[in-house]
Amino acid sequence: MQSKIADAIKLHRGPVAILLTDHKPENALEFTEEGGQKTRCIIPLFVAAMNGRTAVLEKETVLCPGGQVGLCFGPYQLGYIDYFLSTGKEGQFEGEYRKKTPELVREFIANLPEITLPTRYVVMKPLSEVTDGEIAETAIVVFVANADQLSALATLANFDRPTNDNVSTLFGSGCGSLVMQVLDQARAERPKAVIGLTDITARKYLDKNVLSFSVPFKRFVEMEANVEGSFLVKGKDWPEIAKRL
């Protein structure tokens, strides 16, 4: 599947499709159940999908607590994560200081959306490699964009609506901004796009100039249909900006 939006904004790497499926693709990158670091981050597999590979994730092999929640495999278990994301525990482990206190982490967790993944696997692969048979399983499309491209995407997300709040940016894990937050939006009558990968842990795997812009697949289809009638094709401002991309 090709993207008119990606062509119009001169995306350097094509969009990534996130599929929810019970079918495990062959020769896909994945974590294994044997050994390894318990906090294996999901983002390197997402980066591999940006670069043309297919990655598959499942509950049994995602050991990072943030990854479990961000991919909707299960909830946080309090007693560790509330301290890990804040102050840590003296003499036991250092915290990440992403929230000021453990109490604030607990409140943050209590307000997370409750989503149960309907399938066994989360698959990340280039949108260009999604087949006709996989369209029904495609839940999310992710653009990884620089500031100019992100501006275009945010503008397009507001193009066909009277409101000005059709893009969301929330605190959370990198993988949560790619999956959980977007699946939460997919349940809304008018789903918003999600700007993400602001997670400090995720940033070290990414180019310093990019963020993610993710949309539920249904909203992606709507935005694709709007390209020809929008500023991306008509008017003079975007062509001028596009010259420097």
pLDDT for 39 equals 56
> Residue 209's CB: how many other CB atoms inside 10 A?
9
Q: Strands, E, within the chain: which ranges?
A: 16-21, 55-58, 88-89, 93-94, 121-126, 138-145, 167-168, 193-196, 211-216
Answer whether residue 83 is part of any domain.
no
pLDDT for 212 equals 98
Answer whether residue 142 is part of any domain.
yes
Q: Which residues of the chain have pLDDT under 70?
A: 33-39
**Residue 62 to residue 40: CA distance in whole angstroms:** 7
Q: Say whether 84 sits in a helix, a strand or coil.
A: helix
List the domain range (segments joined by +) for residue 39.
Answer: 4-76+112-242
Answer whether residue 160 is part of any domain.
yes
CA Rg value for the chain: 18
**Residue 217 to residue 136: CA distance in whole angstroms:** 10
pLDDT for 28 equals 96
> Residue 165's CB: how many other CB atoms inside 10 A?
9
Inter-residue contact 5 to 225 (CB < 8 Å): no
**Residue 101 to residue 104: CA distance in whole angstroms:** 5
pLDDT for 185 equals 98
**Residue 213 to residue 191: CA distance in whole angstroms:** 13
pLDDT for 40 equals 81
pLDDT for 11 equals 96
Q: What pTM did the predictor assign?
A: 0.94
pLDDT for 37 equals 52
Tell the burial category of 147 from Cβ atoms under 10 Å away from its Cβ (0-12, 13-18, 19+). exposed
Split into its structural domains, the chain has a count of 1
Answer whether residue 155 is part of any domain.
yes
pLDDT for 32 equals 77
pLDDT for 99 equals 97
Answer whether residue 81 is part of any domain.
no
